Amino acid sequence: MARRKFKRRGGPGRSRPRTQTPRTAMLNLHRLGSFKYDLREILNASPMDKDTIPTVVANIIAKASRVSINDTKEYIRDIHKQGVIDKIAADDSCTLLDRYSKWR
């Protein structure tokens, strides 16, 4: 009895290598809870309006998880120039972003 040969799946376009997209640093979502806690601690210690803290935290998390860490740092510098956040809290937030970043 003759053995049946198995067909190879795919055609000539199947062996083509995938092109990689450039990797960017983004927020590590597996550590989101501890990042949010640390960021709130930094912002609560700063002399900023307590009503704007949830908005700033949400904007930082959204930008860091969807766009990139560098764009989030630019956002933090912009709100520092507007006077929403002080220099110490801005620097600590940027350092915190570096600590919780991941290449994706």
Residue 77: Cβ within 10 Å count: 14
pLDDT of the residue at 21: 81
When mean pLDDT is compared across 73-77, 95-99, 100-104, the lowest value belongs to 100-104
User: Residues 98, 99, 103, 104: what is their CA dihedral angle, to the nearest 10 degrees?
Assistant: -100
Tell me the pLDDT band of 14, cut-offs 50, 70 and 90: low
Tens digit of pLDDT for each residue in 40-96? Answer: 999 999 999 999 999 999 999 999 999 999 999 999 999 999 999 999 999 999 999
